[in-house]
Amino acid sequence: MKLKTIFLFGMLLGSPMAMAEDGNAKAKKESAKEFVARIEAQGQALAKEVEAAYWVRQTYITDDTAVLASKAGERSLAFSSSMVEQAKKFKGSKMDTNTARAIELMLRGSSAPAPNDPKLQAELAAVLTEMEGKYGAGSYCNDQGECRELQELEAVLANSRDYDELLDVWKGWRTVSPAYRETYQRFVELGNQGAKDSGFKDLADAWKSNYDMSPAEFTVEARRLWDQVKPFYDELHCHVRAKLGEQYGEDKVPQDGPIPAHLLGNMWSQTWDNIYPIMEPHKGVASLDVTASLKDQGYDELQMTKTAEGFFTSLGLPPLPESFYKNSMIKKPRDRNVVCHASAWDLDNGNDPRIKQCVEINEEQLGTLHHELGHIYYYLMYKDQPSTFKGGAHDGFHEAIGDTIVLSMTPSYLKEKGLIDEVVESEEATLNKQMKLALEKIAFLPFGKMIDEWRWKVFSGEISPEDYNKGWWELRKEYQGIAPGVERSEADFDAGAKYHIPGNTPYTRYFLSFIMQFQFHKALCEKAGHEGPLHECSIYNNKEAGAALGDMLAMGQSQPWPEAMQALTGQRQMDGSAIIDYFAPLNAYLKEQNKDRQCGWE
């Protein structure tokens, strides 16, 4: 899942150097407000051009589209660098509140800040294009000559229970990433140079500067949130390890150590819901086989997408524009390589929102569609904001919206949509549903936290290039309690097997979103007048909740995120307590199951 929108301020005409010189000359004569207006107008045009080039690159991977995307990226990086240099001159000047906010946002760190040197800008654009392309075109061929792409490999991880087959597929996908390990090292060097040229200590400092607090304060805040939910994760880990020991044998799953990474039903062990059949507390009670219903009823990619849209429109939010269905890619083409990783795009200032997703007919993909449409509806609702304010209150907000909606896909909702036959209300049914959701949501939390922990250490130099893989697995063991099922070395680049590393997408946003979606859900349920346990609430068809959500989305990033948080929830702080509230029945069950077990890992 990825929000794919590159917020660009730039000019369309002239070379990058000429544009910078012209912009600097104008900056000497214009006020801060005039500067913001000029940059916004020019940036809109350039953003449309660059996004189109990147869209074609991801939906048609060839050497030619690599050239187009790289050159477009070079242009955006060049003017981004110039914009930052010009914006610096207005720091400390007297200006109105909106202009001050716009200048502040311009000076924040991007995921790949451009060095001031035009040659390095060109190299950075090429490096980013190369890594993403190699990932998208990756496949694994086994000893029998059978070659499979990522989606096919993921299906094996999800469905097989053969230890050796799982390990082979897990190892196989990780043969793709060593090809760009050295390229990634060069990206780090270029990104750090760009961060320093933009006024930051390094790229880690730049990434942590985007949350209306200092990087040091944000580090503490992220740790506080993790500490709120870690005890629940530890209980889940202990129970999952015990059940996997029963499934595969305690010789393969030692009960005092980390879990082998290839046994958790997901290529990256980020979510564990595919092993729910092993973990189901009460066998056969209140089966929620949505995948079977989707297939039995003949759902296709379009109908699944329209089902997701229908939830948002039931809240009183507007229907998607016709262009969305005309321009989106929701089915994997047969005639070319594409990047199948799902993402949402805002190609023309809110006028051409679209998604890129190789939709498969299953429950997980239906949830992903809701997630991606969360981004799309954010675009649509802040469409009328000035360009500088088009964005989530912070990036975690953007990721949380669609997943907040998914929490309302309760058994009652699924029955109303004809995707299950009956709603079973019992303690056993509740535990089954909560176990399935916790294997997705709670299992994800440490993974969402550790990816950027690794990158921050890489960017700062705490993890050296010679220790990329060592540092990666140390953090995975520390946070997740998992380990590779086979020896790994520095010839490998296991971090790069996850799209967001070569795709250079910051990941803390997902960790924050998995915290905030429960906080949002609780607030929206209160606005909808829900009474009863939080896990039974669905805001489907509730216009009051929809209005509150729409009003918050329309704020974009025009104000610091605590203002948006307060507008929706009445709180000014991110808070993990709603997770504990939501999963109270399962938490009690896990503690009972684990009372005689040795939990934790060395």
- R_g over Cα of the chain: 24
Beta strand 259-260 pairing with 482-483: parallel
Beta bridge partners of 452: none
Residues with Cβ within 8 Å of 436's Cβ and at least 6 positions away in sequence, in order, are 273, 276, 280, 288
Beta strand 2-4 pairing with 343-346: parallel
Beta strand 2-4 pairing with 259-260: unpaired
Cα–Cα distance for residue pair 534/378, rounded to 1 Å: 25
Indicate which residues carry an active-site annotation: 341-342, 371-372, 375, 399, 500, 510
Q: Which residue matches tokens 């360009």? A: 387
Number of Cα atoms under 13 Å in the Cβ half of residue 91: 12
- The continuous run of DSSP H or E covering 78 comes out as helix 63-88
**Closest of 269, 262, 263 to residue 242, by C-alpha:** 263
Number of Cα atoms under 13 Å in the Cβ half of residue 279: 29
Q: Three-class SS string for 9-71?
A: CCCCCCCHHHHHHHHHHHHHHCCHHHHHHHHHHHHHHHHHHHHHHHHHHHHCCCHHHHHHHHH
Check if the beta carbon of residue 405 is closer than 8 Å to that of residue 370. Answer: yes
DSSP SS3 for 311: helix
**Closest of 409, 432, 442 to residue 276, by C-alpha:** 432
Helices then strands, counting H and E runs in the chain, come out as 24, 7
- The continuous run of DSSP H or E covering 124 comes out as helix 118-136
